[in-house]
């Protein structure tokens, strides 16, 4: 074009050279030292486990008794506290991931064939299978919160969308009769559509009237919960014949999600569906023009508008997809494990989805890990209670503490003496998006 | 109080933002800190105000070394700061804002509103600030809000007042008022540190000028130093303050705006039946005091605000009701007024921002697939071509300096095929080097046959660029003049054309009356 432009002195050149020389090792070291989001999250989970262990130990009567005699037998007091805390976590781990006793039992069997037939092999993998089963709806519903988060919206309505999906999937499950593979697919698609319809209402209201999605989604949670109760109250609607309970008829066997590893393990195709959705959402967000628009309106709606992006249309699309994913979560619960729908089916998935998305930092891969972690906590809780007497509610406490620490990066940073991340660090990113 | 900074050094990682800076501010002096964006002015003041800790060096007050760990310490020592972005609660009154944090109470622990109001009135009278303690801050114009910030500092007994880029948000008349207030503060014994990159203002107000470049002091000058001298100290070379350009060769009408009327959500009319044409190969400069509908005009031209009436025709195509996307495709390149809010996505990388309005066009996308390779190579090319100073094309654009951000926007807009360039305040907040760069690019566009519309509140910029000057006042064009028109004539047109008001003199006794007197009329329409 013209003569080269003289340097307008924006920053010392040494700084630029330094930055350009960023090797992988340096990046890794900085990431750890500066407390980026990944480091913070891992440390938050670790800290929560420590705090949870303390709470567990010091609410245990045996431990408290031992501490009453701390001056006469200090070693005993510490040992009791340690044993209680670690014992609970060991039981949790055995219930959620891997139990050595089941392996011992496996080796006592006469042959591999009988081991498989009698379910001893299944028992080895049963904890991990349960974790995956529990994680499936958490991952899907977590994605339903994470995508709107990326687009600057806060979806509190995973519960309502979950119910919407579950209703449609259940109805298609028992109400129509279709061949083997087709029936499953139709129900899954129905689940997506049911949730998407609820999400669409939210997006459309926001786009047309400016109604805030937080208010609308919270209210729709109530609407859907009571709508479900209504459907389950009348025989001519969805209540199962021959019962007075609020429950639907069981769905047809053809509509069940196929089990992945035989009848001894509950893990089913729903888990693969959840992973596929996470991968799909990752692709959508980072590799497509649709995701580019989502992220743009999330970061700066006015600049997006100037750049010709229709913010309103994207709001609708985001909520449509998010609702669909929460609906899929409902479908996997009905088609994978429950097979009927009652007015408790939605459990706490809607709220757990928010914590999963928060822990996963709104990113698909993060949501998968967070979903697996929470799934493991849920899966291991019953064994923990049975083996050590620690109440299952301990898991909820643990979840809450994890989220507490994840939401307070400066706290974690000060505990571990990490340097603050550079401009736009963890705390900023969170507070920006979630308050939209 | 005598303030002295000795050998202040502050590093951010490998970047040395302040390099052994020495500075001394005598009592009752206006000391200007002059430097380009990123020269380290704000860092230095944040160190002084206790927001940052220096890595080396010390701060001396009346010869005694002090350490400020928080702004609280600095305030207690008598240092006040007026930030570029005001720290006010919009729904509180002036008095409430002033007292916030140091609330006066009377037994039994009730707020002593009366005392605060008295304090504000007292200070307002003493320094001629003319502020009403009971006015709600959100209803006040920016210039008055700034005075509230000054009062906040004075109530806290500041003897050194730091003003960080105080004129960036002010109209020329408000700037004159600020200067009057600064002079009165000075007469009252308050020292003022005046941070700016505007040469003329610094010359007008300062007793001593310290020039910073790349984090270090380049030198100290009296205000009698010439503009060229100061400018070359700032950038380290001689700069052209004027763009050299040939006479325009206007061609056919490219952008034809007729009877355009634009209103906001409340129904207030901002653009009132404007008609003008921009031809290929010419630059039409729209001058005027800010707030006379320039922002709304640009937004309407881009389809961000609906036109109530009138027509916008681009190269024979009626675009009056087209979406922003269609206008971009039709060949409008747009440099928005507020680059951080409307032009860029700060958290996105430079590369992504380079394709912000072309991400769904080939070669950057095929179907819904983004072509990351094409986006990256495009970024690398544009970064080189426009000399964008960035650590890498993947760095978040928000971390770049203002000048480099503007280069990113220009690089993006000029890369798309375009027939018209609309640039609003294209060099606001930029340093001299960047201004020159942007101006040369704009003239280059004109010479390539693009129709250019420049909207600027800086008269110097209009003079430097425009081939024809349109003056906007209360949503109307009060006149279109050739570039040789004297400034007095433009000043007359900018004030509505009726009264002959000369350009603001250095110290007009009461410069306010004409504007507020006419504002209500506009408000009721």
Contacts of A1 in chain B (CB under 8 A): 385, 444
Write a three-state SS string for B61-80: ECCEEECCCCHHHHHHCCEE
Looking at residue A434, what is its pLDDT? 38
Do strands B30-34 and B56-61 pair parallel, antiparallel, or not at all (unpaired)? Answer: unpaired
CA dihedral B78, B83, B86, B87 (to 10 degrees): -50
- Asked if B370's CB is within 8 angstroms of A292's CB, the reply is yes
Write a three-state SS string for B442-474: HHHHHHCCCEEEEECCCHHHHHHHCCEEEEEEC
Nearest CB among B214, B370, B444 relative to A289 is that of: B370
- The residue that leads in pLDDT, B399 or A194, is A194
The residue whose two tokens read 């951000």 is: B405
Between CA B164 and CA B149 the distance in angstroms is: 12
Between CA B239 and CA B250 the distance in angstroms is: 29
Total residue length of chain A = 436
Q: Do domains B3-235 and B253-331+417-524 have the same CATH topology?
A: yes
> How open is the CA angle B309-B314-B318, to the nearest 5 degrees?
50
Between CA A64 and CA A21 the distance in angstroms is: 56
Q: Quick one: closest CA in A to B369, which residue?
A: A288
Q: Which two tokens stand for residue A155?
A: 């979806």
Per-residue confidence band for A60, with pLDDT thresholds at 50, 70 and 90: confident
User: What number does CATH give the domain B3-235?
Assistant: 3.40.50.300
Do strands B420-424 and B451-455 pair parallel, antiparallel, or not at all (unpaired)? Answer: parallel
Task: Tell me how close the Cα of A232 comes to any Cα of chain B, in angstroms.
Answer: 42
Q: CB-based contact (8 Å) between B399 and chain A?
A: yes
Looking at residue B413, what is its pLDDT? 94
Between CA B106 and CA B115 the distance in angstroms is: 10
Q: B257 Cβ partners below 8 Å, 6+ apart?
A: B274, B275, B276, B277, B301, B310, B311, B312, B313
Q: What residues does each domain of chain B span?
A: 3-235, 253-331+417-524, 347-416
Q: B7 Cβ partners below 8 Å, 6+ apart?
A: B20, B21, B22, B56, B57, B58
Its ipTM equals: 0.79
Residue A17, pLDDT > 80, answer no
Between CA A296 and CA A315 the distance in angstroms is: 12
Report the greatest alpha carbon distance in chain B: 77
Looking at residue B160, what is its pLDDT? 92
Looking at residue B277, what is its pLDDT? 95
- Asked if B346's CB is within 8 angstroms of A10's CB, the reply is no
Domains and CATH numbers, chain A: 44-434 (1.10.3470)
Burial track B207-241 (b if 16+ CB lie within 10 A, e otherwise)? bbbbbbbbbbbbeebeeebeeeebbbbbbbeebee
Answer whether B401's CB lies under 8 Å from B389's CB. Answer: yes
Q: Report percent pLDDT > 90 for chain A.
A: 58
Task: Tell me how close the Cα of B387 comes to any Cα of chain A, in angstroms.
Answer: 7
Is the pTM higher than 0.80? The answer reads no
Phi-psi region for residue B60, left (φ > 0), alpha (ψ -120 to 50) or beta? Answer: beta
Query: Which residue of B347, B358, B375, B443 is the best one to mutate when testing the A interface, meaning the one whose CB has the most A CBs within 10 A?
Result: B347
> How open is the CA angle B51-B56-B62, to the nearest 5 degrees?
75
User: What number does CATH give the domain B253-331+417-524?
Assistant: 3.40.50.300
Looking at residue B510, what is its pLDDT? 42
Give the DSSP per-residue string, A169-208: HHHHHHHS---HHHHHHHHHHHHHHHHHHHHHHHHHHHHH
Total residue length of chain B = 525
Contacts of A423 in chain B (CB under 8 A): 398-399
- The residue that leads in pLDDT, A256 or B143, is A256
**Closest Cα to residue A416, out of A28, A27, A41, A25?**
A41
How confident is the model over A305-328, as a mean pLDDT?
A: 96
Average pLDDT across chain A, whole number: 86
Looking at residue B248, what is its pLDDT? 85
- Asked if A310's CB is within 8 angstroms of B347's CB, the reply is no
Task: Tell me how close the Cα of B120 comes to any Cα of chain A, in angstroms.
Answer: 35
Looking at residue A4, what is its pLDDT? 44
pLDDT tens for chain B, 525 residues: list them: 788 999 999 887 666 788 899 999 988 899 999 887 667 888 898 899 988 899 999 999 888 899 899 888 999 999 999 988 888 998 999 999 998 888 877 878 788 888 888 989 998 888 888 889 999 998 888 888 989 999 999 888 889 999 988 887 777 778 888 999 999 999 988 999 999 877 888 889 999 999 988 788 988 999 888 877 887 777 665 555 567 788 888 999 999 999 999 998 878 888 999 999 999 999 999 988 777 889 999 999 999 999 999 999 999 999 999 999 999 999 999 999 888 899 999 999 999 999 999 999 888 999 899 999 999 999 999 999 998 888 889 999 988 888 889 999 999 999 988 999 999 989 877 777 888 889 999 999 999 999 999 998 777 888 889 999 999 988 999 999 998 888 778 877 877 765 444 444 444 444 444 444 444 444 333
- Asked if B236's CB is within 8 angstroms of A12's CB, the reply is no
The residue whose two tokens read 């980026």 is: A36
Looking at residue A425, what is its pLDDT? 37
> How open is the CA angle A413-A419-A425, to the nearest 5 degrees?
80
Task: Identify the weakest region by mean pLDDT among A18-27, A110-119, A126-135.
Answer: A18-27
Between CA B255 and CA B237 the distance in angstroms is: 39
Question: Which residue stretches of B331-422 are H helix?
Answer: 350-354, 372-385, 402-415
Contacts of B369 in chain A (CB under 8 A): 287-289
Between CA A224 and CA A247 the distance in angstroms is: 16
Q: CB-based contact (8 Å) between B36 and chain A?
A: yes
Q: Which of residues 333-352 of B touch A (CB under 8 A)?
A: 334, 336, 341-348, 352
Phi-psi region for residue B104, left (φ > 0), alpha (ψ -120 to 50) or beta? Answer: beta
Answer whether A140's CB lies under 8 Å from A276's CB. Answer: no
Q: CB-based contact (8 Å) between B444 and chain A?
A: yes
Answer whether B133's CB lies under 8 Å from B140's CB. Answer: no
Q: Which of residues 258-317 of B touch A (CB under 8 A)?
A: 302, 304
Looking at residue A240, what is its pLDDT? 92
Q: CB-based contact (8 Å) between B164 and chain A?
A: no
Secondary structure tally for chain A: helices H, strands E: 20, 0
Query: If DSSP codes are grouped into helix, strand and coil, which group holds residue A150?
Result: helix
- Asked if B215's CB is within 8 angstroms of A12's CB, the reply is yes
Q: Quick one: closest CA in B to A292, which residue?
A: B359
Contacts of B432 in chain A (CB under 8 A): 8
Burial track B269-282 (b if 16+ CB lie within 10 A, e otherwise)? bbbbbbebbbbbbb
Looking at residue B9, what is its pLDDT? 92
Per-residue confidence band for A338, with pLDDT thresholds at 50, 70 and 90: very high
Q: CB-based contact (8 Å) between A290 and chain B?
A: yes
> How open is the CA angle B57-B59-B62, to the nearest 5 degrees?
140
Contacts of A6 in chain B (CB under 8 A): 237, 433
Query: What's the sign of the alpha-carbon dihedral A180, A183, A184, A185?
Result: positive
Q: Quick one: closest CA in A to B402, which residue?
A: A10
Looking at residue A120, what is its pLDDT? 81
Between CA A256 and CA A276 the distance in angstroms is: 18
Model pLDDT for residues B167-192, shown as the tens digit of each residue: 877 777 788 889 999 999 999 889 99
Which residues pair with residue B335 across a beta bridge?
B423
């Amino acid at each position: 074009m013209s003569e080269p432009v003289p340097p307008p002195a924006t920053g010392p050149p040494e700084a630029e050279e330094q930055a350009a020389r960023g090797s992988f090792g340096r990046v890794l070291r900085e990431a750890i030292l500066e407390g980026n989001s990944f480091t913070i999250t891992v440390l938050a989970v670790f800290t929560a486990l420590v705090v949870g262990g303390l709470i567990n130990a010091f609410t245990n009567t045996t431990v408290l008794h031992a501490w009453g005699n701390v001056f006469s037998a200090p070693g005993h007091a510490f040992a009791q506290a340690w044993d209680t805390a670690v014992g609970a976590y060991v039981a949790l781990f055995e219930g959620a991931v891997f139990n050595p006793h089941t392996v011992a039992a496996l080796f006592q069997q006469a042959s591999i064939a009988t081991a498989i037939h009698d379910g001893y092999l299944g028992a080895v993998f049963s904890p991990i299978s349960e974790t995956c089963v529990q994680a499936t709806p958490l991952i899907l519903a977590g994605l339903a919160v994470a995508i709107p988060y990326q687009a600057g919206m806060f979806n509190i309505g995973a519960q309502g969308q979950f119910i919407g999906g579950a209703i449609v999937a259940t109805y298609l499950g028992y109400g129509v009769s279709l061949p083997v593979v087709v029936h499953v697919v139709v129900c899954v698609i129905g689940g997506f559509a049911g949730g998407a319809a609820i999400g669409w209402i939210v997006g459309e209201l926001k786009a047309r009237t400016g109604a805030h999605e937080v208010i609308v989604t919270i209210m729709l949670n109530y609407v859907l919960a009571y709508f479900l109760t209504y459907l389950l109250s009348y025989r001519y609607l969805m209540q199962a014949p021959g019962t007075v309970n609020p429950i639907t008829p069981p769905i047809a066997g053809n509509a069940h999600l196929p089990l992945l590893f035989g009848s001894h393990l509950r893990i089913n195709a729903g888990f693969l569906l959840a992973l596929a959705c996470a991968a799909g959402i990752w692709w959508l967000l980072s590799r497509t023009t649709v995701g580019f628009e989502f992220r743009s309106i999330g970061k700066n709606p006015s600049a997006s508008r100037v750049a010709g992006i229709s913010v309103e249309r994207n709001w609708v699309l985001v909520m449509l997809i998010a609702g669909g994913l929460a609906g899929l979560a409902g479908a996997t619960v009905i088609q994978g494990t429950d097979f009927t729908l009652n007015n408790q089916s939605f459990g706490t998935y809607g709220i757990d989805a928010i914590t999963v998305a928060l822990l996963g930092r709104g990113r698909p891969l993060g949501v998968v890990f967070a979903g697996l972690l929470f799934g493991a906590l849920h899966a291991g809780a019953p064994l923990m209670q049975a083996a050590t007497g620690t109440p299952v509610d301990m898991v909820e406490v643990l979840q809450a503490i994890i989220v507490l620490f994840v939401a307070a990066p400066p706290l974690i940073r000060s505990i571990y003496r990490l340097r603050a991340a550079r401009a736009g660090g963890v705390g900023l990113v969170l507070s920006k998006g979630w308050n939209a | 109080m005598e303030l002295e900074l000795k050998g202040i050094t502050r590093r951010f990682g490998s970047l040395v933002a302040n390099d052994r800076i020495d500075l001394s501010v005598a009592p009752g002096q206006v000391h200007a800190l002059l430097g380009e964006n990123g020269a380290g002015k704000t860092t230095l003041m944040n160190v002084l105000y206790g927001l940052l800790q220096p890595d080396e060096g010390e701060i001396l007050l009346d010869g005694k070394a002090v350490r400020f760990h928080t702004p609280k310490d600095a305030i207690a020592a008598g240092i006040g700061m007026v930030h570029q972005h005001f720290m006010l609660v919009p729904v509180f009154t002036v008095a409430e804002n002033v007292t916030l944090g140091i609330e006066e109470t009377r037994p039994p622990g009730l707020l002593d509103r009366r005392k605060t109001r008295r304090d504000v009135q007292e200070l307002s009278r003493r320094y001629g600030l003319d502020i009403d303690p009971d006015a709600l801050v959100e209803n006040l114009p920016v210039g008055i809000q700034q005075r509230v910030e000054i009062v906040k500092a004075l109530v806290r007994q500041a003897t050194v007042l730091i003003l960080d880029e105080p004129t960036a948000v002010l109209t020329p008349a408000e700037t004159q008022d600020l200067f009057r207030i600064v002079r009165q503060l000075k007469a009252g014994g308050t020292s003022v540190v005046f941070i700016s990159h505007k040469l003329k203002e610094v010359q007008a107000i300062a007793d001593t000028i310290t020039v910073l470049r790349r984090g270090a002091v380049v030198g100290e000058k009296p205000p009698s130093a010439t503009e060229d001298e100061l400018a070359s100290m700032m950038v380290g070379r001689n700069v052209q303050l004027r763009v050299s350009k040939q006479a325009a060769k206007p061609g056919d009408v490219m952008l034809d705006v007729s009877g355009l009327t634009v209103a906001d959500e409340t129904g207030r009319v901002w653009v009132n039946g404007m008609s003008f044409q921009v031809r290929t190969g010419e630059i039409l400069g729209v001058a005027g005091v800010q707030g006379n509908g320039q922002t709304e005009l640009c937004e309407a031209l881009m389809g961000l605000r609906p036109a109530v009436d009138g027509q916008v025709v681009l190269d024979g195509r009626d675009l009056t009701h087209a979406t922003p996307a269609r206008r971009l495709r039709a060949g409008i390149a747009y440099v928005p007024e507020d680059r951080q809010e409307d032009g860029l996505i700060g958290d996105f990388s430079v590369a992504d921002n380079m394709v912000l309005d072309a991400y769904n066009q080939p070669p950057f996308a095929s179907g819904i697939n983004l072509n990351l390779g094409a986006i990256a190579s495009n970024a690398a090319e544009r970064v080189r071509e426009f000399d964008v100073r960035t650590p890498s094309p993947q760095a978040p654009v928000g971390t770049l300096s203002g000048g480099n951000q503007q280069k990113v926007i220009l690089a993006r807009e000029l890369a798309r095929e375009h027939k018209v360039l609309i640039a609003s305040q294209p060099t606001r907040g930029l340093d001299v080097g960047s201004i020159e760069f942007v101006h040369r690019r704009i003239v280059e566009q004109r010479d390539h046959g693009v129709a250019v519309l420049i909207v600027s509140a800086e008269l110097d910029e209009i003079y430097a660029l425009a081939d024809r000057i349109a003056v906007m006042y209360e949503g109307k064009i009060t006149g279109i003049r050739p570039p040789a028109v004297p400034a007095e004539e433009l000043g007359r047109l900018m004030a509505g054309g009726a009264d002959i008001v000369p350009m603001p003199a250095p110290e007009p006794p009461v410069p306010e009356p004409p504007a507020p007197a006419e504002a209500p009329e506009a408000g009721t329409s």
